């Protein structure tokens, strides 16, 4: 079936202006995907405003010059600069100027200055069943899985084109029949103490992503809702190690009240059940570290996805006023920054040696000092995945409590939790 | 000569074949300034994709692949042509947007994966009609 545009869409697509350009980009993508039509969207989350080179800046400025404006609510993912002035970004000119121009162009297009990879914790929560066009892999997976809104993984440029046209290709996860689970990821063989621990979710997410790739699974064996920050960590890790856009957890996520409802067939095939063993979890946990033998650490990085207020509260409790030997880079959005400043939490954390970063994070732009053999500790499955390639630091994976104790000691401290 | 479906129209191209033996993530995997494969775990690590006819078994990873491909086009470091097994909407968006910007882009065509190996080591031509063949 080939793509058919309605008369209004056709009229926009022949325009020489920014809206015409956006409509042609959406339509071309729809043709490539084999979508029969475009559908209206309720909102967008734009990942395209992170500077990768001058061409992206020129594209955004072309849209601005063409008078384009977003037609739906559009939040912005991280940029390459910290516009709040919280932290010092080492990006040099002329890249710095081009990155700033890019951020400015997206503001002029009418996007909200949210600058966060956790828009769903900054008040952008589309209704269950609504169609949206979101970018940034962790935001996509949270939006689909935890909120039950419908989005594909929108790449750079298509996200803003959808936001301007208010349209998206009718394809993939927008269609209810493509949202059902094809396999079961059973964690009932793991210890209750492990499942209740903070590291359970990022470690399981990393394993899940590697096991399921781009197919859709349902996690079984979870007794109660683990909390939103745990689901955030699971989805981010899964979307880093695999091409996961949607997961279900039986009894927890909105489209999976139970296993039967969400499975595509009456019974999953035997080979479509992954029984997670303690050995698999131990291996997945070990694979998150690339510097297992490190004797010292140079930094701790947390906040991928961006930290919530609750995660900052836990950080402050764990530090308990002590002084850090190596810095903890704590990445967050400006939506949290405001409340951190209200109760003086920011000053207390910074006095301990925490470096708060807003609007961006340590793996997308140069922030941490350049070290040839640096070691970074993190509790984020996503940071563990991207830090070696993007920062040059080797990585040690640990719980937040262990990260804090290690930052105070300057040497790795681990508490063992048997899976 | 193999008939191939044109995925994204562009300039016909000719160049030494580079047949990748594993899927690649363009973001973090290909240097947008030099066209060099930067992913140390990729079997073709160190090869330059610029001006080559690039045979891609698939792409993985970040949705910013489109930004990297468009940056390669803008820097004059794009492949001479792209040959894919399946349409890749995220990667090819880089060409779609570059065309909208009025920049000259290479053609992207679709070819059965089994046909890739025959071109290894040859100079390959992708013609105006999308046909893929060894250059005379």
Instruction: Express each pLDDT in B33-80 by its tens digit.
Output: 999 998 877 899 999 999 999 999 988 767 789 999 999 999 999 999
* Residue B25 domain-assigned (yes or no): yes
Whether B37 contacts A62, CB under 8 Å: no
Predicted pLDDT at A361: 96
The boundaries of the domain holding residue A312 are 299-409
Same domain, yes or no: A278 and A362: no
Residues of B in contact with A157 (CB under 8 A): 66-67, 70, 93-94, 97
Residues A80, A102: Cα–Cα separation, whole Å: 9
Residue of A16, A18, A22, A32 to mutate when probing chain B, most B C-beta within 10 A:
A32
- Full-model pTM: 0.95
Residue A270 has pLDDT above 60, yes or no: no
**A55 CB within 8 Å of a chain B CB:** yes
Residues A313, A251: Cα–Cα separation, whole Å: 28
Structure tokens at A214: 């781009």
**B32 CB within 8 Å of a chain A CB:** yes
Of A48, A58, A389, the CB nearest to B101: A58
Q: Min CA distance, B131 vs chain A (Å)?
A: 19
Mean pLDDT over A57-83 rounds to 98
Examine the residue annotation and report whether B62 is marked as an active-site residue of this protein.
yes
A108 falls in which pLDDT band (50, 70, 90)? very high
Residue A134 backbone phi and psi in degrees, to 5: -115, 145
Nearest residue on chain B to A241, alpha-carbon basis? B61
Residues of A in contact with B94 (CB under 8 A): 157
β partners of residue A45: A75, A134
**A135 CB within 8 Å of a chain B CB:** yes
Q: Min CA distance, A181 vs chain B (Å)?
A: 22
Give the CATH number for residue B121. 3.50.30.10
Mean pLDDT score of chain A: 95
SS (H, E, C) A259-301: HHHHECCCCCCHHHEEECCHHHHHHHHHHCCCCCCCCCCCEEE
- Between B45 and A155, whose confidence is greater? B45
* Residue A2 domain-assigned (yes or no): no
Residue B20 to residues A185, A220, B54: CA-CA distances in angstroms?
32, 38, 8
Nearest residue on chain A to B33, alpha-carbon basis? A53
Residues A402, A415: Cα–Cα separation, whole Å: 7
* Residue B127 domain-assigned (yes or no): yes
Of B60, B66, B87, the CB nearest to A156: B66
Q: Is A412 exposed, middle or buried (0-12, 13-18, 19+ CB in 10 A)?
A: buried
Which of A241, A259, A287 represents a domain boundary (last residue)?
Answer: A287
Of B39, B66, B101, the CB nearest to A155: B66
Same domain, yes or no: A197 and A167: no
pLDDT tens-place string over residues A300-309: 999 999 999 9
pLDDT tens-place string over residues B108-133: 999 987 899 999 999 999 999 999 99
CA neighbours within 13 Å on the CB side: how many for A312?
28
Same domain, yes or no: A114 and A225: no
Residue A105 has pLDDT above 70, yes or no: yes
**A214 CB within 8 Å of a chain B CB:** no
**A32 CB within 8 Å of a chain B CB:** yes
pLDDT tens-place string over residues A91-103: 999 999 999 999 9
Same domain, yes or no: A162 and A30: yes
Residues of B in contact with A138 (CB under 8 A): none
Indicate yes or no: CB of A156 within 8 angstroms of CB of B64.
yes
The boundaries of the domain holding residue B47 are 5-131
**B67 CB within 8 Å of a chain A CB:** yes
Predicted pLDDT at B1: 67
Residues A213, A220: Cα–Cα separation, whole Å: 18
**B73 CB within 8 Å of a chain A CB:** yes
Mean pLDDT over A182-193 rounds to 96
The three-state secondary structure class of B130 is coil
Which of A287, A318, A337 represents a domain boundary (last residue)?
Answer: A287
* Residue B136 domain-assigned (yes or no): no
Q: Min CA distance, B69 vs chain A (Å)?
A: 10
Total domains present in chain B = 1
Indicate yes or no: CB of B32 within 8 angstroms of CB of A29.
no
Give chain A's end-to-end CA distance (angstroms, integer).
Answer: 49
Structure tokens at A11: 């009229």
Dihedral angle computed from the Cα positions of residues B119, B42, B22 and B30, in that order, rounded to the nearest 10 degrees: -80
**A157 CB within 8 Å of a chain B CB:** yes
* Residue A415 domain-assigned (yes or no): no
Of A154, A386, A390, the CB nearest to B63: A154
Predicted pLDDT at A416: 82
Residues B120, B16: Cα–Cα separation, whole Å: 9
- The pairing of strands B123-126 and B13-19 is antiparallel
Same domain, yes or no: A202 and A123: no
Same domain, yes or no: A167 and A184: no
* Eight-state DSSP code of residue B85: S
Percent of chain A with pLDDT strictly greater than 70: 98
Give the CATH number for residue A329. 3.30.499.10
Residues A79, A51: Cα–Cα separation, whole Å: 7
Cα A204 vs. chain centroid, distance in angstroms? Answer: 16
Give all strands of the β-sheet with A375-378 in edge-to-edge order: A354-358, A328-332, A299-307, A375-378, A394-397
Total domains present in chain A = 3
Residues A123, A338: Cα–Cα separation, whole Å: 14
Residues B105, B9: Cα–Cα separation, whole Å: 8
Residues A269, A389: Cα–Cα separation, whole Å: 38
Indicate yes or no: CB of A53 within 8 angstroms of CB of B87.
no
Q: Min CA distance, B38 vs chain A (Å)?
A: 9
Residues A82, A315: Cα–Cα separation, whole Å: 21
Predicted pLDDT at A65: 98
Mean pLDDT over A73-102 rounds to 96
Nearest one of A67, A35, A61 to A48, comparing CA atoms? A61
Residues A297, A190: Cα–Cα separation, whole Å: 30
Residue of B67, B72, B88 to mutate when probing chain A, most A C-beta within 10 A:
B67
Residue B136 has pLDDT above 80, yes or no: no
Ramachandran area for residue B60 (φ above 0: left; ψ -120 to 50: alpha; else beta): beta
Same domain, yes or no: A167 and A186: no
Nearest one of A371, A377, A201, A240 to A301, comparing CA atoms? A377
Indicate yes or no: CB of B90 within 8 angstroms of CB of A155.
yes
CB count within 10 Å of CB A146 equals 20
Residue A17 has pLDDT above 80, yes or no: yes
Whether B85 contacts B58, CB under 8 Å: yes
Of B33, B63, B89, the CB nearest to A137: B63
Which of A236, A258, A287 represents a domain boundary (last residue)?
Answer: A287
Active-site residue identified among B2, B25, B62, B64? B62
Residues A137, A305: Cα–Cα separation, whole Å: 10
Helix (H) or strand (E) holding B71: helix B65-74
Of B87, B90, B100, the CB nearest to A25: B100
Q: Min CA distance, A32 vs chain B (Å)?
A: 6
């Amino acid at each position: 079936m080939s793509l058919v545009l309605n008369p209004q869409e056709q009229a926009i697509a022949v325009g020489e202006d920014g809206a015409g350009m956006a409509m042609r980009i959406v339509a071309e993508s729809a043709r490539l995907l084999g979508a029969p039509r475009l559908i209206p969207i309720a909102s967008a989350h734009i990942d395209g405003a992170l500077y990768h080179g001058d061409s992206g800046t020129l594209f955004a400025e072309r849209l601005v010059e063409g008078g384009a404006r977003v037609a739906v609510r559009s939040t912005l993912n991280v940029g390459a600069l910290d516009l709040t002035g919280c932290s010092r970004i080492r990006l040099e000119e002329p890249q710095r100027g081009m990155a700033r121009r890019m951020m400015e162009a997206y503001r002029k297009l009418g996007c909200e200055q949210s600058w966060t990879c956790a828009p769903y914790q900054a008040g952008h929560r589309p209704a269950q069943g609504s169609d949206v066009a979101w970018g940034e892999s962790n935001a996509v997976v949270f939006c689909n899985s935890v909120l039950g809104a419908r989005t594909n993984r929108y790449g750079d440029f298509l996200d803003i084109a959808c936001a301007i046209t208010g349209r998206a290709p009718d394809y993939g996860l927008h269609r209810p029949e493509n949202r059902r689970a094809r396999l079961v990821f059973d964690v009932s063989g793991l210890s209750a103490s492990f499942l209740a621990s903070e590291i359970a979710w990022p470690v399981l997410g990393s394993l899940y992503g590697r096991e399921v790739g781009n197919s859709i699974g349902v996690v079984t064996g979870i007794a109660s809702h683990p909390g939103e920050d745990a689901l955030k960590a699971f989805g981010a890790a899964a979307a880093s190690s695999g091409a996961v856009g949607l997961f279900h957890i039986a009894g927890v996520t909105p489209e999976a009240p139970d296993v039967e409802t969400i499975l595509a067939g009456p019974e999953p095939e035997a080979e479509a059940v992954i029984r997670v063993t303690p050995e698999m979890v131990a291996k997945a946990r070990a694979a998150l570290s690339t510097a297992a033998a490190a004797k010292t650490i140079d930094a701790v990085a947390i906040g991928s996805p961006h930290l919530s207020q609750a995660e900052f509260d836990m950080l402050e409790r764990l530090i308990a006023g002590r002084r850090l030997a190596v810095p903890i880079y704590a990445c967050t959005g400006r939506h949290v920054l405001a409340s951190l400043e209200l109760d003086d939490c920011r000053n207390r954390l910074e006095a301990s040696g925490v470096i708060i970063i807003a609007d961006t994070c340590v793996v997308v732009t140069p922030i941490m000092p350049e070290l040839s053999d640096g070691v970074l500790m993190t509790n984020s499955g996503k940071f563990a995945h991207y830090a070696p390639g993007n920062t040059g630091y080797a990585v040690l994976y640990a719980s937040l409590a262990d990260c804090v104790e290690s930052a105070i000691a300057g040497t790795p401290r681990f508490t063992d939790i048997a899976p | 000569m193999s008939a191939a479906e044109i995925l994204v129209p562009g300039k016909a191209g000719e160049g030494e074949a580079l047949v990748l033996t594993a899927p690649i993530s363009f973001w973090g995997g290909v240097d947008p300034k030099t066209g060099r494969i930067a992913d140390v775990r990729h079997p073709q690590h160190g090869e330059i994709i610029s001006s080559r006819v690039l045979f891609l078994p698939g792409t993985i990873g970040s949705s910013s692949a489109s930004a990297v491909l468009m940056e390669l086009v803008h820097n004059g470091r794009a492949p001479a042509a792209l040959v894919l097994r399946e349409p890749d909407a995220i990667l090819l968006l880089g060409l779609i947007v570059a065309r909208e910007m009025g920049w000259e882009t290479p053609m992207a065509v679709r070819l059965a994966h089994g046909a890739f190996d025959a071109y290894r080591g040859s100079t390959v031509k992708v013609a105006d009609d999308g046909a893929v063949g060894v250059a005379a």
